[in-house]
Structure 1
Amino acid sequence: MQDDSRLLKVEEVAEHLNVSRWTVYRLIKERELTSVKVRNGRRVPLQSIRAYVAGLIEDVAS
């Protein structure tokens, strides 16, 4: 079981979702992914990615 409190870099999120990092920034801007600022970079909680994917699956199932 992975730790949901883990923070991922934007590049890691992009790789995880198989999208560009610009798409990740757009998802953050549109508040579809939550993020925190750490020094001069953004980090996305693993829990936020899981919630986003679950929402996509729910939308398809509806």
Structure 2
Amino acid sequence: MIRRTGSPSGQGKQLALPFTAPAATAGAIEPISVRIADAIRLTGIRRSKLYELIASGDLETFKIGRCTLVPVASLHALIDRARQGRL
């Protein structure tokens, strides 16, 4: 992207903006944990099935105050186990 700056003489000076960083490092941050509703949306698992997995110990959760959080690493591990048929 090029932005033109005005100058008193009427000639615009071109300034190139630095957008050369890859998208993965340009501000995209993967969360460490997500709320239950986000875990449901991310995995596509029904709410009741997610709570069954939590009760059986197949999915890790923790609480901070009143908020129940699911570690993203636990979601990745759950999907990996399901792919291998160990769930």
Give the TM-score of the pair, scaled to structure 2. 0.59
Query: In structure 1, how many angstroms separate the alpha carbons of the residues matched to 2:52 and 2:67?
Result: 15
Runs of 4+ in 1 over 4 A off after TM superposition: none
Unaligned residue ranges in structure 2 (runs of 5+)? 1-23
Of 33, 38, 47 in structure 2, the residue corresponding to residue 21 of structure 1 is 47
Higher relative contact order (CA 8 A, sep 6+): 1
Structure 2: how far apart are the matches of 1:26 and 1:42?
15
**Which structure: greater helix fraction?**
1
1:12-60 Cα distance to aligned partner (Å, 9 max, x none)? 0001111222221211111110010111121000000000000011117
For 1:20 and 1:13, how far apart are their aligned partners in 2?
A: 10
Gapped regions of structure 1 (runs ≥ 5): none
Q: Does 1:49 align with 2:70?
A: no
Quick check: which has more Rg, 1 or 2?
2
Q: How many matched pairs?
A: 59
| 1:10 paired residue number | 36
CA distance in 1 between counterparts of 2:48 and 2:67 reads 14
User: Over aligned residues, Cα RMSD in angstroms?
Assistant: 1.9
